[in-house]
Every structure is written in C-alpha cells, then in structure tokens.
Amino acid sequence: MTNFETIRVERRDRVAWIHLDRPEALNALNERLMRDVVAAAGELDADDGVGAIVVTGSERAFAAGADIKEMASKSTAEMRADDHFGEWLKFAAVRKPVIAAVSGYALGGGLELALMCDIIVATDSAKFGFPEVGLGVIPGIGGTQRLVRAIGYPKAAEIILTGRRIDAEEAERAGLVSRVVEASRLLDEAQELAAGIAAKPLPALVAAKAAMDAALELPLAEGLALETEHFTALFDTEDQQEGMAAFAEKREPRFRHR
Ligand code: DAK
C-alpha cells in the first residue's frame, strides 16, 4: 500500500479502514487528502482480501468540508481548469461496500464524502450540514444530487438552502443515517457491521451495489433488466453454488469470494 500524508489505512481481517488524518484542519478535504483517499480506495477495491471499507475521521470531525483556505482566492476559470474535485468520482465508483463512520462535523464536502458511501453510521454527537450557500457557493462534490436522492427534495432543500446543521437524531429520522450509536461504540459498531458485510460473498456484494447504484440512475424498466442481468450472472460463481449447497445441507457456507 502506498504511503499517505493525510490518511491512515488499516486492515482488520476483510475490513479495511481509511482514517482521515488532518486534525489541524478538522479533516478538511484539500487536494492532497482527496488524492490519498482516492488512491487508497482504488487499491483496496482491487484487493481480493478486502470485502468492505470503512471511512472515518476523528471524534471531533469526520470532515469539516472542502478546504476553504485552499480555494478561497480561485477564479471561475481556475476552478474550471484544474477540475479540482473531479477525482472524487473515482471514490464514488468503488465497487465494494463503503461505510462512513461519522463523529462530530460532517459539513460541506465532508457530508458529500459520507453521501458517496453506501451506509452512514453516526455517533450522537454528529452534525451534518451544507454551509456552502453562506460562503457564496453551493455543494459541488455531488451534494445537491445525492442528498436529494437520499432523503427527498423537501428536506434536502431545507438543509441546502438554509445551511442549517442537523444532528444525528434528525439525520436518522430523515433516512440519511442508518444507525446512531454511542460515541464510545462507533468504531466497534462500524467494524461489526462491515465485518458482517465482508463475510458475505464478494461477487454478490459487488453485484448488489451495482444494481442499487442503477436504481439512482435508470428508468425502472432498465433498472429491472440490469438487476436480472446481475442476478443471472451470479449463477456462474463458486459462492452461489456453495451458498445454496450449504443451505440444502444445513451447514454454514464457506465462501471463497469468487
Ligand atoms: N477548510 C479549511 N480549514 C478549516 C475548515 C475548512 N473547511 N474547517 C475548519 N478548518 C480549520 C480552521 O480554520 C481552524 O484552523 P486554525 O484557525 O486553527 O488554523 C481549525 O480547522 C479548527 O477549526 P475551528 O477553530 O473553526 O473549530 P471550531 O470548533 O471553532 O469550529 C467548525 C468547527 C466546523 C464549526 C468550523 O471550523 C467551521 O465552520 N468550518 C467550516 C465549515 C464549512 O463551511 N464547510 C464547508 C466548506 S465549503 C468544489 C466542490 C465542492 C466544494 C468545493 C469545491 N469544486 C467542484 C471544485 C465544497 C465546498 C465546501 O465544502
């Protein structure tokens, strides 16, 4: 694994952890951090020994947004020319399940990073929001698109247009967060959740994620056709044969993730 400046990568069995590690800036997403996260996620996605990835920050901040100081003096032409955040699309395209374990602030680009993950687990101290309009801009790493798809237009509109922060309880009610846990339990709960997922056959996980992604993009008939295609293709995998044989033989399956 490459050496990184702004993150730490850790492996626990089939679960890989990406710890955002810029404490001096509350994990604000500067260009270096983006490149580190995208490179690490790419390596872990390609590693057969990894079944799920968890992204987390510190107790105080998951990530407090894109790095305001880095972009403050840029012009429209400069922002357009360096496609500053285009790389994040590669993170969103990771094939394996990704969990965001959020404590503290997940604001702006930090919330957008969490929205690129499949599941968000949060502590009761978590605070989510899009402060961008108050900075004279709008969410620009997918926030306007993914929040609307995640929780529906009216609630997303209130969050984006007011810049108001919501707490973990409100985020869970809105359907943004799948579970809220005590601060001291966050890493253990995320590990248990990720390990439970990673123990499942990898081809099925990848197919399920691809099919769910299609639900956000395609008309229903096309999505259903794509689901059928993924479902059918799994019948040539060893894990499908093992999973169904184990069921019939009333024993635990031994998946080989292929
Ligand atoms: N950027 C840079 N530095 C940040 C930062 C950020 N987003 N957030 C915090 N920091 C730094 C602070 O400046 C401070 O540094 P020093 O002054 O000590 O050097 C340090 O982290 C600790 O922060 P505070 O002293 O402010 O800590 P507090 O507990 O008092 O407040 C806070 C925590 C999270 C409420 C506050 O730091 C805050 O409001 N932070 C900014 C939150 C925010 O507005 N986030 C949205 C950023 S805009 C793009 C697409 C998308 C975007 C950009 C470009 N393109 C397509 C190109 C996205 C934009 C955003 O995310």
Instruction: State whether the Cα torsion 95-185-155-158 is positive or negative.
Output: negative
User: Which pLDDT score, from 0 to 100, does residue 95 have?
Assistant: 98
Pocket residue to mutate for ligand 1, from 68, 113, 130, 146, most atoms within 8 A of Cβ: 68
- Mean pLDDT, consecutive 10-residue segments, the chain of 258 residues? 92 98 97 96 97 98 94 90 83 98 98 98 98 97 97 98 98 98 97 98 98 96 98 98 98 97
Active site residue 66: yes
Which residues form the pocket of ligand 1, taking CB atoms under 6 Å from any ligand atom?
Answer: 25-26, 28, 64-69, 71, 79, 84-85, 105, 107-109, 131-132, 135, 140-141
Coil vs helix vs strand at 63: strand
Q: Which helix (H) or strand (E) holds 118?
A: none
Exactly one of 51, 109, 110, 142 is catalytic; name it: 109
User: Which pLDDT score, from 0 to 100, does residue 206 have?
Assistant: 98
User: CB within 8 A of 127, min separation 6: which ones?
Assistant: 104, 105, 106, 107, 165, 166, 167, 168
- Residues in a beta bridge with 253: none
Q: Is this prediction's pTM over 0.95?
A: yes
**Cα maximum dimension of the chain:** 66
Active site residue 10: no
Active site residue 114: no
User: Which pLDDT score, from 0 to 100, does residue 188 have?
Assistant: 98
User: Which pLDDT score, from 0 to 100, does residue 124 have?
Assistant: 96
User: Which pLDDT score, from 0 to 100, does residue 82 have?
Assistant: 78
Q: Amino acid identity, residue 182?
A: E
Residue whose CA is closest, atom 36 of ligand 1? 64
Angle between helices 202-215 and 238-248 (to 10 degrees): 110
Please check whether residue 162 is in contact with residue 170, taking contact to mean a CB–CB distance below 8 angstroms: no
